[in-house]
């Protein structure tokens, strides 16, 4: 079954230009037909320059090959994460494809995170994390699980660098279960719920 790859620009939107240091969030996914075309476009392959930000590409399903001007060329599949600090400047590209299993779906989250001013002119860096490299904890009361993609949770620190109090989690809750989190009052928080049934 052939599927189209779509890009849904989640952030910025009509309500918020940014959430803390998070200035861009795209959900790239495959589908036969989109229910909301207003913020979607066909995902293409193209290199782009970046400066003063960190990029995080988290793969729920599919494969993403990261290529950059630092000489990195890494392909990751479901559960993997590409992390890059653009610093004073880097050119990078991400090639998106379905994985080599029978799953034709693609579902990828791509974040751009603003760097604090003192890091904007630093040297670029790149880190790749396989699914097993990302810390995962079971939530209390069998509520589900949490993966720490950026920052820390319950004294467990992620394996990718973090330059502020920001955090980024992948949370899976069981039906009728709840999750609560105590944070610094100065930290802006948001949740993105995957609702498209064709995503995963």
Q: What is the pLDDT of residues 69-88, one digit of tens each?
A: 999 999 999 999 999 999 99
Provide the strand spans (E) within 22-100: 22-31, 40-42, 48-50, 53-61, 63-68, 73-76, 81-85, 90-97
What is residue 105's predicted lDDT score, i.e. its pLDDT?
81
- Residue 120's pLDDT band, with cuts at 50, 70 and 90, is very high
Q: What is the pLDDT of residues 181-194, one digit of tens each?
A: 888 888 899 999 88
Q: What is the pLDDT of residues 152-180, one digit of tens each?
A: 998 899 988 988 888 999 999 999 999 88
Please tell me the distance from the alpha carbon of residue 188 to that of residue 56, in angstroms, as a whole number: 18
- Residue 35's pLDDT band, with cuts at 50, 70 and 90, is very low
- Residue 124's pLDDT band, with cuts at 50, 70 and 90, is very high
What is residue 197's predicted lDDT score, i.e. its pLDDT?
40
Over residues 14-19, mean pLDDT: 92
What is residue 159's predicted lDDT score, i.e. its pLDDT?
87
Do residues 150 and 157 touch, judged by C-beta distance below 8 A? no
What is residue 199's predicted lDDT score, i.e. its pLDDT?
39
Q: What is the pLDDT of residues 49-76, one digit of tens each?
A: 899 999 999 999 999 999 999 999 999 9
What is residue 4's predicted lDDT score, i.e. its pLDDT?
73
Annotate 123-181 with DSSP letters as a single string.
Answer: PPEEEEE-GGGS-EEEPGGG-EEEEEEESEETTEE-SS---SS--EEEEEE-TT-----
Instruction: Name residues whose C-beta falls within 8 Å of residue 24's C-beta, 6 or more positions apart in sequence.
Output: 9, 11, 12, 110, 111, 112
Place of tokens 């949490």: 146
What is residue 45's predicted lDDT score, i.e. its pLDDT?
54
Q: What percent of the chain has pLDDT over 90?
A: 62
144: buried, middle or exposed (CB in 10 Å: 19+, 13-18, 0-12)? middle
Average model confidence (pLDDT) for the chain?
86
Please tell me the distance from the alpha carbon of residue 192 to that of residue 183, in angstroms, as a whole number: 18
């Amino acid at each position: 079954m052939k599927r189209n790859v779509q890009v849904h620009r989640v952030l910025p939107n009509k309500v918020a230009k940014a959430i803390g240091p998070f200035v861009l969030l795209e959900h790239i996914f495959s589908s036969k037909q989109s229910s909301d075309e207003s913020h979607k476009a066909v995902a293409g392959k193209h290199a782009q320059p970046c400066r003063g930000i960190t990029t995080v590409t988290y793969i729920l399903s599919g494969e993403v090959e990261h290529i950059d001007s630092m000489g990195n060329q890494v392909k990751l599949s479901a559960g993997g994460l590409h992390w890059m600090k653009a610093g004073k400047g880097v050119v990078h590209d991400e090639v998106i494809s379905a994985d080599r299993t029978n799953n034709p779906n693609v579902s990828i989250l791509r974040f751009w995170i603003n760097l604090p001013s003192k890091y904007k002119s630093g040297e670029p860096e790149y880190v790749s994390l396989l699914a097993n490299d990302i810390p995962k904890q079971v939530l209390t009361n069998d509520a589900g699980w949490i993966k720490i993609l950026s920052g820390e949770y319950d004294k467990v620190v992620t394996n990718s660098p973090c330059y502020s109090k920001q955090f980024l989690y992948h949370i899976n809750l069981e039906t009728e279960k709840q999750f609560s989190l105590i944070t610094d009052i100065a930290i802006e928080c948001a949740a993105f719920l995957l609702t498209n049934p064709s995503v995963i």
